[in-house]
Structure 1
Amino acid sequence: ASGTDHGDIRVLVGRGPGGFGVSPEECPQSSLYIVALRKELPTEAFYEKGLTAFASAIPPKQEYLARIKSTNYLPNVFMAAEARQRGMDVAVTFDEDGHLGEAAIANVGIVDAEGRLCCPEGRRILPGTSMLAARKIAPQRLPVVERPIRREEIFTAREMLLFTSASLCVGISHFEGRPIGQGPDAGRPGPVARWLRDALLEHMLATGTPF
């Protein structure tokens, strides 16, 4: 439909036509939209450079809303605006106890000082397909744990990773202006980010539905 080899397919389910109130009873039937979007693939330079991130002032969504894929994107909009104002790529939420949440439309994890892929608990985030796939694939090379991640752990982590359907896995090179990682990989995407990007693409091509 888009006339291009690369793009996104978005499926939108709504409650359909009706009044302007909040009651679903106003709507006689639901709606379904399938949208094809033209989109270029990320370049090698994008993955080699990595992303910059910071702690957002926007709080994470409440637990009962965080795991629902809905049209409530206002916090995401605020986070995107915040990143632009700060001159950085990614705003990341933290809960009241200082535990890592998620980015505006992406999941975040770290490779901790012990070499484990650590992903936040699922209570206050919406687990995305790329992060869930990474948790299945990563045990081929390193342990995977789901646990609370304290903000200060980021500065001792080997790597910080961003998971999205658009870029699969890309390394976060700096957090709050400080380089992530140690040694020659400090301040640049590390080996896990580079491997997972390729492994996730291979997994997607092997398990995706041909069209």
Structure 2
Amino acid sequence: MSVALLTAEQARAKLADKNYPAQQTYLAMYSTWWDGIVTEPGMMVVPIDDHLVHRGDGVFEAIKVVNGRVFLFEEHLRRLENSAKLIGISLPMSLDKMKSIIAETVTAVGVKDALLRLYVSRGPGGFTTNPYDSVSSQMYLVVTTLKLLPSEKYQQGVSIGKSSVPPKDPTLARIKSCNYLPNVLMKKESVDRGIDFTINVDEQGNFLEGSTENIVILDQDGFLVRPPLHQILKGTTMIRTFELAEKLVKSGKISGIQERNFTEADVKSAKEVMMIGTTLDVLPVTVYEGSKIGSGSQGPVAKELNELLREDMKNAVLI
């Protein structure tokens, strides 16, 4: 026989020996399937017949820990709970227990800054599309190093373009599911094009969202505008940024806050365009399809919103 028939011990040894650069950022993993924590990257695995793997049948959140504080902890967990509910998955534990396990897993690796990748799956039990084949829902938590963008990106801004990938149906767009094929194709598209992000657009030409980040604009009248939430993922960082933006309304630095459709023409004429996300915070956009946006560098509103957001992180939940 040319292909080795491995014993369980041999398979475990091979898993431990597997290594590639990205694994250097994998710090720990908790799994309900084991009810324990591992710190060996090669052992950070899930059952192949978990619906998460072969159907993308699960939900997830990416949560940031900065200086030992979990930013928007409650908001992320509530969105996870809501996403799971919308596709009929029961959480394998209460949110309070989930918080406790997250804290223990982060503490186990002794880091102050991290990105938490939290998944709730339908669970293992078969390879069909029948969700009732799964034995029970599972939770997988992976703690990774937090990789921040260089400061130059915030000063010089980033480039965006229009995506050719069709947007998700509004019902699915509002669920943070693990079926992220359109998002993957959008990221591939931006890398292939040599730009930072692409934004998908609906049939009416309205801009929606990026691969994993929200787009907002400061229009010519000074209004901070986000797309309607019924057709995009309700970004936790974007929502918090808009709450903080009320300070700019009160000080007269912006005219107000709006939730409405905007098109390519609005993006091109905007005073400022911003991408907002968990790992991005508030990132200025200075080029759209090769054309300069605004001043061509970080605008005053993007700068102040980013400062407000980072100051807000200092008051987040302490692990």
Shorter-normalised TM range = over 0.9
Normalising by structure 1, report the TM-score: 0.94
Task: Count residues with an aligned counterpart.
Answer: 206
User: 2:124 corresponds to which residue?
Assistant: 17
Distance in 1 (CA, whole Å) between partners of 2:137 and 2:179 is 18
User: 1:162 corresponds to which residue?
Assistant: 275
Give per-residue Cα distances to partners, 1:128-160, cap 9 Å, x unaligned: 111000111112112110001122111110000
Is 2:215 the counterpart of 1:102? no
User: 1:86 corresponds to which residue?
Assistant: 193
Distance in 1 (CA, whole Å) between partners of 2:216 and 2:111 is 32
1:16-35 alignment runs, 5 A limit: 16-35=123-142
Q: Unaligned regions of 5+ residues in structure 1, if any?
A: none
Give the letter for the 1:200 counterpart: L
User: 2:180 corresponds to which residue?
Assistant: 73
Query: Per the alignment, in what secondary structure is the counterpart of residue 204 of structure 1?
Result: helix
Q: CA deviation at 1:43?
A: 2.6
Query: Per the alignment, in what secondary structure is the counterpart of residue 94 of structure 1?
Result: coil
Residue 174 of structure 1 contacts residue 180 of structure 1 at CA under 8 Å; is this kept in 2?
yes
Give the letter for the 1:205 counterpart: K
Distance in 2 (CA, whole Å) between partners of 1:2 and 1:58 is 39
Give the letter for the 2:304 counterpart: W
**Structure having the higher Rg:** 2
Farther off after superposition, 83-92 or 36-45 = 36-45
Q: CA deviation at 1:39?
A: 2.1
User: 2:6 corresponds to which residue?
Assistant: none
Distance in 2 (CA, whole Å) between partners of 1:190 and 1:80 is 25
Residue 156 of structure 2 contacts residue 296 of structure 2 at CA under 8 Å; is this kept in 1?
no
Q: CA deviation at 1:46?
A: 2.1
More helix by share: 2
Residue 282 of structure 2 contacts residue 305 of structure 2 at CA under 8 Å; is this kept in 1?
yes
User: 1:114 corresponds to which residue?
Assistant: 221
Normalising by structure 2, report the TM-score: 0.63
Residue 2 of structure 1 contacts residue 38 of structure 1 at CA under 8 Å; is this kept in 2?
no
Farther off after superposition, 37-46 or 66-75 = 37-46
Runs of 4+ in structure 1 off by over 6 angstroms are none
Farther off after superposition, 196-205 or 97-106 = 196-205
Identity of aligned residues (%): 34
User: 2:52 corresponds to which residue?
Assistant: none
Residue 198 of structure 2 contacts residue 210 of structure 2 at CA under 8 Å; is this kept in 1?
yes
Distance in 2 (CA, whole Å) between partners of 1:152 and 1:187 is 17
Q: CA RMSD in A?
A: 1.1
User: 1:172 corresponds to which residue?
Assistant: 285
Q: CA deviation at 1:204?
A: 2.4
User: 2:8 corresponds to which residue?
Assistant: none
Q: Unaligned regions of 5+ residues in structure 2, if any?
A: 1-107, 249-253
Distance in 2 (CA, whole Å) between partners of 1:64 and 1:45 is 37
Q: CA deviation at 1:62?
A: 0.4
